[in-house]
Amino acid sequence: MDVNFQFDWQAAIASIPYLLDGIPWTLLISFGGLAIGFVIGIIFGLLRISPLRVLRWPAVTYIEVFRGTPVLVQVLFIFYGLPQIIGGPIDAVTAGIAAIALNAGAYISEIVRGGVQSIEKGQREAALSLGLSRPQAFRYVIWPQALRRMIPALGNQGIVSIKDTSLFSVIGVGELVRQGQIYIATTFTALEVYFMVAMLYLAITLSLSFALRLLERRGLVGQ
């Protein structure tokens, strides 16, 4: 069977101004959610390694629930299900930020746990022997080293979360995919528009990857 199709570069280029309107929402949801998720990740990551079971198990439960369920299901629950519990609506952007924050927070918790546990015990013992308290030893000795080791994994999680925002078109968020869908509905140029959507996502994620590699070359991350 012969398949004949032509890629209309003019249509693809014409769609760019409309698609660009979705980038601020994509970045707002992804970076807003990641900022909140980082705080959540620190809290639950440290609770995850607590010697107290009463603190450790709630963290384990949160991490397993949000790592074990799709982010699409999570955002649908927040947008459609949670309003029935709280008795009021939640706007789409807030739902998207919350979904990224909770989902990324679960993965960041494990990144934090791994980063802190990767620091040799001798580091803490040396800090304590110098007269630092346990909180001071963590703040000035353990955490700075752990954070450097976590940056590559945090960057990877950031890339994943940026791509996850493409799912939020189902709740009407005006991000890249949603803008593409609206444009396609009037122009019927699905091939060209979705190609440009993919290229714009690629440009964002490659920029973040480049920034991470730059940090690595300057010795600001890793060992």
**From CA 60, how far away is CA 65, in angstroms rounded?**
9
Residue 184: alpha-carbon gap to chain centroid: 27
CB 48 within 8 A of CB 59: yes
- What's the pLDDT score for residue 221? 61
1: in domain: no
Crossing angle, helix 190-217 and helix 9-20, to 10 degrees? 60
Structural domain total, the chain: 1
Per-residue model confidence (pLDDT) at position 133: 86
| Residue 222 within a domain | no
Report percent pLDDT > 90 for the chain: 71
Domain span holding position 112: 9-217
Neighbouring C-beta atoms of residue 115, cutoff 10 Å? 22
Nearest alpha-carbon partner for 114 in 63, 160, 57, 55: 63
Note the pLDDT of residue 121.
86
Q: 154 lies in a domain? A: yes
First vs last Cα of the chain: how many Å apart?
56
Whether residue 2 lies inside any domain: the answer is no
Which CATH number is 151's domain given? Answer: 1.10.3720.10
Report pTM.
Answer: 0.90
Which residues in the chain show pLDDT less than 70? Answer: 1-5, 219-223
**Whats the size of the chain, residue-wise?**
223
